């Protein structure tokens, strides 16, 4: 389980570094997970201080 989470965490962080800011739906599509799963994972990463969640007006 730790390997799975580590891989997913790395993929999310790499996605944000290369394309941020992005919506959870976009992250979900890139990683093949649902928008809700992406939002939950982003929330966990925010609680750990690894990402910041903010409201951004995307075109």
* C-alpha to C-alpha distance for 48 and 26, rounded to whole angstroms: 22
Two tokens, residue 49? 């201080």
Element at 10 (helix H, strand E): helix 2-19
Q: CB of 9 within 8 A of CB of 33? A: no
Q: Domains in the chain and their CATH numbers?
A: 2-47 (1.10.10)
- Residues 1-57 have pLDDT tens digits of 568 888 889 999 988 888 778 889 999 999 999 999 999 999 999 999 999 988 877
| pTM for the structure as a whole | 0.79
Contacts of 29 (CB under 8 A, 6+ apart): none
The reported pLDDT for the residue numbered 5 is 81
The reported pLDDT for the residue numbered 21 is 80
The reported pLDDT for the residue numbered 54 is 85
Q: Is the pLDDT of residue 59 over 70?
A: no
């Amino acid at each position: 389980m730790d390997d799975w989470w580590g891989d997913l965490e790395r993929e999310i962080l790499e996605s944000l570094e290369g394309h941020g800011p992005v919506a959870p739906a976009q992250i979900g599509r890139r990683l093949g997970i649902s928008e809700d799963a992406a939002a939950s994972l982003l929330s966990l990463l925010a609680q750990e201080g690894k990402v910041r969640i903010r409201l951004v007006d995307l075109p």
